Amino acid sequence: MNDVLHKLPEFASNHLLLVALFVAILLALLGGEVMTLFRKWKMLTPAGLTQLINRDTPLIIDLSASADFEKAHVPGAKNVAMSQFDPETQKDLSKAKDLPVVLIDKDGRGVGKAANRLIKAGFQKVFVLDGGTYAWQTAQLPLAKGKK
């Protein structure tokens, strides 16, 4: 181990690009983790969403495209197009400020901004299904089809 520590400065000076790349990746990973700690909404696994459904009566909003929603969605979810998602003007949402609100999309990647908008609008219990409908399906949980 001592030998490695003695050779490290020489390696770093000979491979500046690799060291810079390593530092950049490390900072990006740490930055992502710090952002995760300070965000106001929480990620749920499919099992966590099942527990939330059994414990409370959350409002489940699926922000997937209509065609994807009709193919498969979490039972009880309401489809709202991302372009029409406005927590301050939608009647269903304004009534649900005290309820847990779960946001879902096809793969769980595009709902962070919508979750932040809910937090800004005064919602206290905001959740996102990690992996979206795809994770729900992979967990072999029941899916609904059609517009409702």
What is the residue range of 24's domain?
Answer: 2-37
58/123 same-domain check? yes
Q: Is residue 101 part of a domain?
A: yes
Least confident of 71-75, 120-124, 135-139: 120-124
Cα–Cα distance for residue pair 87/75, rounded to 1 Å? 22
Cβ contacts of 93 within 8 Å, gap of 6 or more: 59, 61, 87, 101, 118, 121
Q: Is residue 117 part of a domain?
A: yes
Reported as a pLDDT band with limits 50, 70 and 90, residue 92 is low
Neighbours of 141 (CB within 10 A): 14
Return the pLDDT at 98. Answer: 84
Average pLDDT (55-81) is: 92
- Could you tell me the CATH number of the domain that includes residue 81? 3.40.250.10
74/134 same-domain check? yes
- State which amino acid sits at residue 57: T
Cα–Cα distance for residue pair 71/105, rounded to 1 Å? 13
Cα–Cα distance for residue pair 70/29, rounded to 1 Å? 36
Number of domains in the chain: 2
Return the pLDDT at 108. Answer: 79
Q: Is residue 44 part of a domain?
A: yes
61/112 same-domain check? yes
